[in-house]
Amino acid sequence: MSREFLSGNEAFAYGIRLAAPQVISAYPITPQTIVVERLSEMVEDKSLKSEFIHVESEHSALSCAIGASATGVRTFTATSSQGLLYMAECLVYASGGRYPIVMMNANRSTALPWNIYGDQRDSLSLLDCGWIQAYAKDAQESLDLAILSYYIAEHPKVSTPFMVNLDGFHLTHTYEMVEVPESELVKNFLSDYNTDNKIDFENPKNIAFSAGPEHNFAFKYKEHIGILNAKEIISEAEQKFAPLFGREYSGLVEAYRCDDAEYILITLGSIFGLCSDVADELRNEGVKTGVLRLRYMRPFPNKEIADIARNAKAVAVLEKDISFGNEGSVYTNVNSALQKAGLSVPSLNFIGGLGGRDISEEDIREIFNKLSQGKTAVHFIGIEEGAII
Amino acid sequence: MNVNANTLNEDEFFYGHKACAGCGGSLAVRIALKVLGKRAVAVLPAGCMSAVGFNFPQLCFANNAIISTFAGTASMLTGIEAGLRAKGITDFVAVGFAGDGGTADIGIQALSGAIDRDDNILYICYDNEAYMNTGVQKSSLTPFGAKTTTTPAGGNVRGNLRPKKNMFEIVAAHGIKYAATASIGYLPDYMKKVQHASEIKGTKYIHVIAPCPTGWGIAPDESVEIAKEAVDCGLWILAEYENGIFSVNTKPKNLSALRTHIKKQGRFKHLTDEDIDHIESLRDSKWENGGQ
């Protein structure tokens, strides 16, 4: 093990080198570019043995990865924002074909207006694509997810592509001390990708076929079960990971001081650290606050949210997303979890950080403040309620 | 060994499919796979050949075959080639079969990217000159004057107003390792080109004209003859591009047959004599350019 000062992007690239995909196809886009640059350098200096394909678009990046995955090799791609949307057709293709491709997505706002900074509308608008979606909080978790993701995605009970999301700039470009594990350790943890879902010269196959109304439903149901199975395999992977690497992860969610919390802020990504700091301050002031981080949006932690929010007086959902004409997508999902569990905990939605706007400590204090007043509504941080602009 | 009618593989790799009677595209796929054999990995985008041959549980390729996204024939070929090579497998041919729309319209970006990288793939465009799978809509390879469902022939407009995009030259302009045109009317020439292409390392492109009786308004038993005539009357030029040099393979046998060739096809029935004169002039200017 070594300790290195790395950005989120670099940490992810280090993790990918350890996971050693045989084919990488990628197209550059801010703020993901550092990942593909580092991986290119690693291929050049032979510290990573991988076919690096310089594709001419994101659509081709994922299409190429699907082709490679169909030969039974480990594959990687990375993108962001418009690039993710451009490859959307291939997203459903990869999941429908059950190809366990790992992709890093640098969460970035989507045009129009053009904006290169971080929010989460790109990936959250694609929750229904059949991909596992994880959201990292820091560079260390980014590196670890690069390794864990292959274990989970390639597991035969899962066979589902895996999108690891890093907040654009806030995480992709922020440097931290990161523990980089030895490659021998990773080899012990992650076995080679082994599948029957591939081209086979001994027993030729017709794959990625059409299926009409009679059979289509069954394929889609199996796809759903595959991604649900990821819950169990995420837990299995983390249990195996902890003793080897000395770091523990807590499955679909990470709860901070939620046990006796009256007010819980539910969020995702790199804002978790700041939210936890504010929760600490408020605890010192006598307010029982906690923070629940959704590490995964798919599969969705329905049970975990309900279990943790059960005794809360109110929950807030803070997200860098808006489903125009309704509310934040995370909020919709959280409310569904509460409702299915028969809970009537009041919930508020806070939309923040769109187009990369900072969410301040004061903003988070204000969320908890509004939460204790118990109004159910969608709030846009920094915009007056009902404002007409 | 040079492949010909006597030496052609008796095994079938594409059978039991639901292509229309007389389908030129299915003949192009069938014959190419016979030449390439069981080590071919076929990529087919959305289009006629995937629609007729790839419906679970009736799957009709005897070799490994996969459907790609419509725009992704070339990029998926690239991925397959890279994946197999990463596994140390080298004795295979990654071959794509895309229609004219899948090649010259929606798939041209990925194709251009693959040629630019000189990926070791064989891309075969079976050109039936319109989006036939969706019911005969204009593509950029639909010729001047052709009636399609999106370029109807009425009192104001007489079918498609634009000439056919020249994919052969576009591909050659990339400096591709090997490019060729072919016709299902001249199968020995097509087979020879497929075989030659499969022996070259790098990107190869073959553009085979493949009439569609349904879309062209011809009888099912006429498609081979029509494809032959297209070459004989100089409308479709059999040519190759290799090592930076263009070569024309055949001279037209009967330039004056153009008029009857056009008139035989339902899609051109509405054309006036002046329209056919224009088609003739388009043809002649190509030949004046050395067949390019």
Higher pLDDT, A1 or A79: A79
Residues of chain B found within 8 Å of residue A209, distances taken between Cβ atoms: 54-56, 59, 67
Q: How far apart are CA B74 and CA B68, in angstroms?
A: 9
pLDDT of amino acid B292: 55
Residue type, B42: A
Domain count, chain B: 1
Q: Say whether A67 and B59 touch across the interface (CB within 8 A).
A: no
Whether a cis peptide bond, with omega within 30° of 0, leads into A213 is: no
Q: How far apart are CA B60 and CA A206, in angstroms?
A: 8
| H helix runs in A115-182, sequence order | 121-124, 139-154
A218 touches chain B (CB under 8 A): no
* pLDDT tens, position by position, A288-310: 999 999 999 999 999 999 999 99
Pairs of residues, one from chain A and one from chain B, whose beta carbons lie less than 8 Å apart: 155
Asked, for residue B13, whether it belongs to a domain, the answer is no
Residue A387, burial from CB neighbour count under 10 angstroms (0-12, 13-18, 19+)? exposed
Optimal mutation site among B41, B52, B66, B92, interface A, most CBs of chain A within 10 A: B66
Q: What is the reported pTM?
A: 0.97
Asked, for residue B223, whether it belongs to a domain, the answer is yes
Q: Choose the closest CB to A68 out of B55, B79, B92.
A: B79
Q: Choose the closest CB to B54 out of A54, A67, A210.
A: A210
Q: How far apart are CA A307 and CA A256, in angstroms?
A: 14
Structural domain spans, chain A: 2-245, 253-380
| DSSP summary character for residue B165 | P
Q: Name residues whose C-beta falls within 8 Å of residue B228's C-beta, 6 or more positions apart in sequence.
A: B183, B185, B186
| DSSP summary character for residue B127 | E
CATH code of residue B153: 3.40.50.970
A23 touches chain B (CB under 8 A): yes
pLDDT of amino acid A389: 64
Optimal mutation site among B33, B77, B78, interface A, most CBs of chain A within 10 A: B78
Q: Say whether B69 and A25 touch across the interface (CB within 8 A).
A: no
Q: Choose the closest CB to B56 out of A23, A204, A215.
A: A215
Residues facing A177 on adjacent strands: A5
Question: Are the beta carbons of A60 and A145 closer than 8 angstroms?
Answer: no
pLDDT of amino acid B242: 98
Q: Say whether B86 and A50 touch across the interface (CB within 8 A).
A: yes
The tokens for A64 are: 């190429």
pLDDT of amino acid B204: 98
Give the chain A residue nearest B38 (alpha carbons): A201
A222 C-beta neighbours (distance < 10 Å), count: 11
pLDDT of amino acid A373: 82
Task: Enumerate residue ranges in chain B where pLDDT < 70.
Answer: 291-292
CA-based nearest distance A226→chain B, Å: 20
* pLDDT tens, position by position, A72-98: 999 999 999 999 999 999 999 999 999
**For the domain A2-245, what is the CATH code?**
3.40.50.970
Q: Choose the closest CB to B76 out of A63, A200, A209.
A: A63
Give the chain B residue nearest A91 (alpha carbons): B69
B133 touches chain A (CB under 8 A): no
Optimal mutation site among A200, A206, A214, A216, interface B, most CBs of chain B within 10 A: A206
Class of domain A253-380: alpha beta
Question: Are the beta carbons of A23 and A53 closer than 8 angstroms?
Answer: yes
Asked, for residue B2, whether it belongs to a domain, the answer is no
Kindly state the percentage of chain A with pLDDT values over 90: 96
pLDDT of amino acid A151: 98
Residue B281, burial from CB neighbour count under 10 angstroms (0-12, 13-18, 19+)? exposed
Whole-Å CA distances, B23 to B26, B35, B196: 6, 19, 25
B39 touches chain A (CB under 8 A): yes
- Single out the residue of B29, B31, B24 nearest to residue B10, CA to CA: B31
pLDDT of A376 over the 70 cut: no
pLDDT of A386 over the 80 cut: no
Asked, for residue B11, whether it belongs to a domain, the answer is no
Domain that holds residue B38: 24-288
Q: Choose the closest CB to B109 out of A56, A68, A199.
A: A56
Q: How far apart are CA B170 and CA A251, in angstroms?
A: 52
Task: Sort strands B54-56 and B58-59 into parallel, antiparallel or unpaired.
Answer: antiparallel
Mean residue pLDDT of chain A comes to 97
Asked, for residue B112, whether it belongs to a domain, the answer is yes
Q: Choose the closest CB to B56 out of A73, A199, A209.
A: A209
Asked, for residue B148, whether it belongs to a domain, the answer is yes
Q: Say whether A210 and B56 touch across the interface (CB within 8 A).
A: yes
* pLDDT tens, position by position, A206-226: 999 999 999 999 999 999 999
Task: Sort strands A296-298 and B54-56 into parallel, antiparallel or unpaired.
Answer: unpaired
Q: How far apart are CA B274 and CA B35, in angstroms?
A: 43
Q: Say whether A56 and B39 touch across the interface (CB within 8 A).
A: no
Give the chain B residue nearest A76 (alpha carbons): B79
Q: Choose the closest CB to B76 out of A64, A201, A210.
A: A64
Question: Are the beta carbons of A312 and A262 closer than 8 angstroms?
Answer: yes
Q: Is the dihedral of CA B68, B74, B79, B85 positive or negative?
A: positive
Q: How far apart are CA A132 and CA A239, in angstroms?
A: 19
pLDDT of amino acid A73: 98
pLDDT of A265 over the 60 cut: yes
B120 touches chain A (CB under 8 A): no
Query: Torsion over CA of B10, B14, B15 and B21, rounded to 10 degrees?
Result: -110
Question: Are the beta carbons of A279 and A259 closer than 8 angstroms?
Answer: no
- Single out the residue of B98, B140, B51 nearest to residue B151, CA to CA: B140
Asked, for residue B92, whether it belongs to a domain, the answer is yes
Q: Name residues whose C-beta falls within 8 Å of residue A63's C-beta, 6 or more positions apart in sequence.
A: A87, A90, A93, B68, B69, B71, B72, B75, B76, B79, B110
Q: Name residues whose C-beta falls within 8 Å of residue B130's C-beta, 6 or more positions apart in sequence.
A: B100, B101, B136, B137, B138, B139, B141, B142, B146, B148, B212, B215
Lowest-pLDDT choice from A235-249, A366-380, B164-178:
A366-380
Q: How confident is the model at residue A374 (pLDDT cuts 50, 70, 90)?
A: low
